[in-house]
Structure 1
Amino acid sequence: MSADNKPSLAAGEAKLFPVVETAEGKVRGLRSGRIAVFKGLRYGADTSGANRFRAPQPVQPWAGVRDALDYGNIAPQIPGDRRHVYAGLILNDVQPGGMGEDCLVLNLWTPDPSPAGKRPVIVRFHGGGFYGGSSNSPGGDGEMLARFGDCVVVTVNHRLSALGYLYLGEDGPFADSGAVGMQDLVASLQWVARNIEAFGGDPARVLIVGQSGGGAKVSHLLGMPVAKGLFSSAGVMSGSRLTAMPRDQAAKAADQLLRRLGLRADQIAELQAVPFSTLLAAQADVEAEDRSRGEAPRSFAPVLGQAIPHHPFAPGAPEESRDIPLVVSTALDERTYRETNFDMGWEEVRQKLERRVGADADMLLAAYRDEDPQATAFLVNARINSDTSFRLGAATMLERRVAAGGAPTWAYLWASPSPAFGGRYGAVHGIDVAYSMHDIRFPLAGPTDDSLRLADEIASAWVALAATGRPDNPQTPAWAPYDLARRDTLVFGHPTQSVSDPRGFFRAYWEKDAAGRRG
């Protein structure tokens, strides 16, 4: 190679492998289809050993350039079970990066890693409840959305389950251990505030959004004082979480796990030396014990404490996010992902309803069948279960936001069914994730013209919310904020349209039913 070729080769390498200087040190990414990709960026220190069950610790600055070319660790977790067909549809088993406690990492996609960019930023938190999943899965790939929306996309890994939410008391060295997984997310947003401008993003225009467990995480962040000021808009997709775990319930789960590990309450410090594989095995055994007694498995989720001083949306909307524009959504047939009896008959549905609502069962079942004469008994059963869980939570969140005043709130309902298995799952839980990422290659979506139309619509709404604080955009019909008079909701379907109080009869019925059960 001649000396004359060296400068041009160096320039080509810099273009293919862009280097960005963060507050902690320089990182090297890789350009793919004109999008610069940085994977495995550390926003917090390794959480093993002395850092286990403690608030996230800062990353130590480094000299030289660190590669950010591949995914970092996913949080230790019990793998998803592929015997359930739905798990394969969401590619739950494809999580590169390896499992380990050095999991405070994030991935970033940007059209141009230059401080002059000032692009809107979309930070997405993964689903999987508070126990599983990662942002390394194919559904967390932000390349297509960054390109489509000319925005910066960030996805985040953090501690899960017992490692993120094991309650070890209110005092001592592990105080607030029941919230360290949520504190990780706050640390990731602090990293964004420090560094996103260097990657071409605007720290003043940061949307946080998540589906399912990701939506539950956003719900909590909306009420956490330590997160205030770190984002400018928010989206809760099929994950409206109204309450945190009370301390007494969290203490029971912790006691059960400690007993399984053979530790006393005064031996908590020894937990830091237990291999995470042993901890996970004990957790799995506890869940199996609960199921054998016919009980719901003990779960580990954010616990009230210093970081989470109050429930996110109970008794009302949080004051901390009063000025944050918010979108709240559900999918029509959320609960099909939990069901396997695809040959369910109408009599079984009626009997289930009768056990819940008594004499109203026949009337209610007739209303569901009249709403959609083509729906199978399997779909209607799941729709009922969706109305009494996901949809009820979302409606409560919307109503409490409106009652509190402040920034506007918008609602959407995803009604377009998945083509998977001939449409038997309907508009299933998680269906809007791929469309929101403008990535329609996944089994729940599919590469069709109609899928592309829906992806254009929903992705445009998220980008607009990040950029302007409103989801209005040229791709969707006019979308009015939610209020208690009209309850305007954008229904993504065929066609996508704005509807006043869609399925209002069912909303009103189940709200009254829930109030009766509480009272």
Structure 2
Amino acid sequence: MKRRDALKGLSALTLSAAVTPVSAATLKPKSVTVKTSNGPVIGQVRAGTAVFLGLRYGETTAPPYRFLPPRQPQPWSKPVKADRYGPACPQQSTPDAYGKSEDCLFLNVWTPEASPKHKRPVMVYFHGGAYANGSGSDPLYDGTNLSQRGDVVVVTVNHRLNVFGYLYLARLERLILGQPGPLAFSGNCGQLDLILALEWVRDNIAAFGGDPGNVMVFGQSGGGAKIATLMATPKAEGLFHKAATMSGQQVTASGPGNATARAKAFLGALGLKTDAEGLKAAQTLPWETLVAALKVTDPVLGSGGVYMGPVLDETILVRHPFYPDAAPQSRHMPMIIGNTRDETRGFQGNNPAFQNLTWEDLPEKLPPNYRVDIDPWRVIDTYRKLYPQMTPTDVYFAATTAGRSWRGAIIEAEERAKVGAKTFVYQVDWKTPKDDGRLGAPHTIDIPLVFRTTAVPEAISTDSPQARRMADLFCDAFIAFARNGSPQTPALPDWTPYSLPERQTMLMDLTPQMANDPRGEERKLFEKVPFIQSGT
């Protein structure tokens, strides 16, 4: 997911001001000190919110600690200023103005009052960008408005991504050593980072006014997929109590065979052999060299850069998140599963190659992008019968959305419904006015609505009155869910949990409404063929 670096170079305090207008009396922030389990930290109070940026929750993962599980920070005694975001994990995109480093295990906290006197709900956000890019310091994730609106504590997290978080070297190492070695956890280090961050929240958030017994995790796109994976990860059990995924699902993880094939392709791109010397070199090369090699063609998908994500490694992850069913460890946990009506317009909606399509274009363009193996003419004929008003371009985006990402969300909701797990499902129908409405309700539209950051220049929602109204609806629903496990608010119709065969879904629009099995015929069309997660 690409971000416009519209606020590059601004200080963290300026970022807060960009989303929350402040009076002249509040321009000079005052400091506040909190004692964490690692040492004292100094945050700043601005416009009624205490902000702590760049809090270290883990030590550096640079060599010789590359590809190894994260480590607790070394304690400190002198107060550390927490007034600047920490760097992001090295990656191919540039997410912000705060740099990239293998020393990237930092998190950020926004709270109405940094005091243990209160026990506020805690909302921990995991950023998107698949498992490859992004950081918790994106201006869209500024927690000021969400914290103030809901009287909640908001946390965002940086962690290891791509090769640094998910390069699976365990099988290659074991073939060399004849037994498991120190790289046994390499395929899921990024997930272990998130677990360490949640352990930090458990141990420290009370000092910031949060309730460690009421932690909600939420994330969009790759962030949602990370959450789905944690819901099946034994080491994460008990660290969070509610979950919300926004256009991000992980039905299955990468198998160890495919992950090994990717590791071989990646090492080959570095000019390294799959022997002891090759593995040693991968642990010491400059990070810039590793990032450049991510462009190698994926040997499983046959296109694009090499995919790296969670691996069914039998050490950290011992089952797929939602296959063959919903992981038992998380069935007791209330969950929100959301998607947008026009997901793929967020990826390709402004690409001229996918505008003004003809019916003759579709049979070739559809299959690579709806990512399931189904006859394209059957898909085209079905959509033309269901929606005769649709243009070929409309059919392209509707079908690729249904097959590519919505399908995974449906599977997760159905598997939870089968075992009676409380699940609330939504679909964003509200169309952004951006680009004359051409994008519809695209991927990422719900981020500025939940965070109430519609005023940030890069927000795909715009800051129109309608966008602010949608932000009220979304933000309040997520706050209600964080507080009591249900997204029900007075502004929404009765939001009943998802069940079969009803498939209750909240259609989020200026006039929200509940619907049973929306787009049911599209669902039936694509469920006749297996859904294979891209990473799998």
Task: From the superposition, tell whether residues 205 and 162 of structure 1 become closer, same or farther in structure 2 (CA, over 3 Å).
Answer: same
Give 1:41's match in structure 2, choosing from 39, 50, 55: 55
Give 1:448's match in structure 2, choosing from 459, 464, 467: 464
Match of 1:84 in 2: none
Q: Percent identity?
A: 37
Alignment of 1:206-225 (within 5 A): 206-225=215-234
Deviations 1:192-232 (A, max 9, x none): 00000000001111110111100110110110010000001
Residue 304 (1) aligns with residue 312 (2)? yes
Task: From the superposition, tell whether residues 31 and 362 of structure 1 become closer, same or farther in structure 2 (CA, over 3 Å).
Answer: closer
Match of 2:476 in 1: 460
Distance (whole Å) between structure 2 residues aligned to residue 416 and residue 136 of structure 1: 26
Alignment of 1:430-449 (within 5 A): 430-441=444-455, 442-449=458-465
Match of 1:491 in 2: 507
Distance (whole Å) between structure 2 residues aligned to residue 58 and residue 496 of structure 1: 45
Match of 2:289 in 1: 278
Preserved CA contact (<8 Å) 2:39 2:78: yes
Preserved CA contact (<8 Å) 1:379 1:426: no
- 1:14 is displaced (CA, Å) by 12
Distance (whole Å) between structure 2 residues aligned to residue 155 and residue 512 of structure 1: 39
- 1:294 is displaced (CA, Å) by 5.8
Residue 60 (1) aligns with residue 60 (2)? no
RMSD of Structure 2 on Structure 1 (CA)? 2.3
Unaligned runs of 5+ in 1: 1-11, 80-92
Alignment of 1:33-432 (within 5 A): 33-79=47-93, 93-170=94-171, 171-264=180-273, 265-267=275-277, 268-284=279-295, 286-287=296-297, 295-305=303-313, 306-339=315-348, 340=351, 341-348=353-360, 351-352=363-364, 356-357=374-375, 360-361=378-379, 363-370=381-388, 373=389, 376-405=391-420, 407-432=421-446
| Residue identity matched to 1:301 | G
Task: From the superposition, tell whether residues 457 and 49 of structure 1 become closer, same or farther in structure 2 (CA, over 3 Å).
Answer: same
Range moving further from structure 2, 503-512 or 41-50: 503-512
Residue 470 (1) aligns with residue 482 (2)? no
Distance (whole Å) between structure 2 residues aligned to residue 193 and residue 354 of structure 1: 45
More helix by share: 1
Preserved CA contact (<8 Å) 1:42 1:104: yes
Distance (whole Å) between structure 2 residues aligned to residue 466 and residue 343 of structure 1: 40
| SS of structure 1 residue aligned to 2:528 | helix
| Residue identity matched to 1:299 | Y
TM-score, with length taken from structure 1: 0.89
- 1:124 is displaced (CA, Å) by 0.4
Distance (whole Å) between structure 2 residues aligned to residue 380 and residue 429 of structure 1: 17
Task: From the superposition, tell whether residues 150 and 161 of structure 1 become closer, same or farther in structure 2 (CA, over 3 Å).
Answer: same
Preserved CA contact (<8 Å) 1:478 1:498: yes
Task: From the superposition, tell whether residues 384 and 354 of structure 1 become closer, same or farther in structure 2 (CA, over 3 Å).
Answer: closer
Distance (whole Å) between structure 1 residues aligned to residue 203 and residue 262 of structure 2: 37
| SS of structure 2 residue aligned to 1:29 | strand
Distance (whole Å) between structure 1 residues aligned to residue 346 and residue 440 of structure 2: 10
Preserved CA contact (<8 Å) 1:354 1:360: no
Distance (whole Å) between structure 2 residues aligned to residue 471 and residue 20 of structure 1: 32
Alignment size in residue pairs:
485
Distance (whole Å) between structure 1 residues aligned to residue 401 and residue 332 of structure 2: 30
Distance (whole Å) between structure 1 residues aligned to residue 272 and residue 29 of structure 2: 55
| Residue identity matched to 1:360 | R
Deviations 1:75-101 (A, max 9, x none): 00001xxxxxxxxxxxxx551211001
- 1:19 is displaced (CA, Å) by 0.6
Match of 1:82 in 2: none
Deviations 1:121-149 (A, max 9, x none): 11000000001011111122111111111
Preserved CA contact (<8 Å) 1:94 1:138: no
Task: From the superposition, tell whether residues 436 and 282 of structure 1 become closer, same or farther in structure 2 (CA, over 3 Å).
Answer: same
Unaligned runs of 5+ in 2: 1-25, 172-179, 368-373
Task: From the superposition, tell whether residues 450 and 175 of structure 1 become closer, same or farther in structure 2 (CA, over 3 Å).
Answer: same
Distance (whole Å) between structure 1 residues aligned to residue 271 and residue 29 of structure 2: 55
Match of 1:6 in 2: none
Preserved CA contact (<8 Å) 1:488 1:501: yes
Task: From the superposition, tell whether residues 479 and 419 of structure 1 become closer, same or farther in structure 2 (CA, over 3 Å).
Answer: same
- 1:477 is displaced (CA, Å) by 1.7
Distance (whole Å) between structure 2 residues aligned to residue 13 and residue 114 of structure 1: 22
Deviations 1:244-302 (A, max 9, x none): 11111111111122222233321212322211011112223x24x879x9634321111
Distance (whole Å) between structure 1 residues aligned to residue 193 and residue 186 of structure 2: 11
Distance (whole Å) between structure 1 residues aligned to residue 210 and residue 523 of structure 2: 40
Distance (whole Å) between structure 1 residues aligned to residue 223 and residue 366 of structure 2: 34
Preserved CA contact (<8 Å) 1:207 1:232: yes
Residue 506 (1) aligns with residue 507 (2)? no
TM-score, with length taken from structure 2: 0.86
- 1:354 is displaced (CA, Å) by 9.1
Preserved CA contact (<8 Å) 2:413 2:498: yes
| Residue identity matched to 1:328 | I
Preserved CA contact (<8 Å) 1:250 1:303: yes
Preserved CA contact (<8 Å) 1:379 1:424: no
Distance (whole Å) between structure 2 residues aligned to residue 414 and residue 427 of structure 1: 6
| Residue identity matched to 1:130 | Y
Preserved CA contact (<8 Å) 1:29 1:37: yes
Preserved CA contact (<8 Å) 1:238 1:429: yes
